[in-house]
Amino acid sequence: MKSILTTSIMLALASFSAAAADYEVDFGYDSKYISEGRDNLDKGGIYWLNGAAGFENGITLSAAYGYAADSSVDYDELNLGIEYGFEVGDFSFYGSYTRLEFFEDSESDNELGAGIAYGGLEWFEPFVDYVYSTEAEGGFLEIGIQREFAINEAITFTPYVIAAFDYGYASPDHDGANHHTFGASLGYQLNDTWAVNAIIEHQKGDKDVELDVGNDDGHTWVGLHFTAGF
């Protein structure tokens, strides 16, 4: 099942968290649509239009629409989500629900997510994310670390490493180590409202991907997103 949970959208919306506002919109292009260690499109990249509204009670409403950049590929999807987040000391927690609609495939899905991050370390932030798909009747687990470096008042650089494990989410026949990810985002605050975020990421398949789709050298993609906060 395709999902935007761990792709560039969250990175783009988080790239200028120091200037985060109640409302955010994001317009972006990714050279490929890579998730769960797999290329979701036959060829070409994907355009994204995303929005989020955050409230003081910890609830965030979000919407994301993606469609294939190559005119010969019939693919689009809509994600509608609600998330509740809170902090306890140096720990951050969230729970979420996302409704996914895949229009060209005439399919839909419901995803329940949860995650925790620890911000009490000086050099990096460890995090764990889990999502369960009602359509696939399986879950997907990611364990990673990231670190945001403030180059100056306008520029941030955020590298990250993630290990992912599939439990019936991406493949019904195989469980266990799915893929690992190496990536980084570079954010530049253009003004009080607009920021631009460049992303580069490589996902290399592990046992689950190799058993499901065969051996490959992994997938590398780049993205460019413009984000406005209000």
In this predicted structure, what is the pLDDT of residue 91? 97
Give pLDDT tens digits along the chain (230 positions): 455 444 455 555 554 443 445 899 999 999 999 999 999 999 999 999 999 999 989 999 999 999 999 999 999 999 999 999 999 999 999 999 999 999 888 899 999 999 999 999 989 999 999 999 999 999 999 999 999 999 999 999 999 999 999 999 999 888 999 999 999 999 999 999 999 999 999 999 999 999 888 877 799 999 999 999 98
According to DSSP, residue 19 is labeled G
In this predicted structure, what is the pLDDT of residue 20? 46
Cα–Cα distance for residue pair 128/98, rounded to 1 Å: 18
Longest dimension (CA), the chain: 50
Q: Choose among 121, 191, 120: nearest CA to 153.
A: 191
In this predicted structure, what is the pLDDT of residue 105? 81
In this predicted structure, what is the pLDDT of residue 2? 52
Cα 20 to its chain centre, rounded Å, is 18
Cα–Cα distance for residue pair 69/213, rounded to 1 Å: 24
Cα–Cα distance for residue pair 116/92, rounded to 1 Å: 6
Q: Choose among 145, 153, 158: nearest CA to 185.
A: 158
- The residue written with tokens 């991406």 in the block is 170
In this predicted structure, what is the pLDDT of residue 215? 73
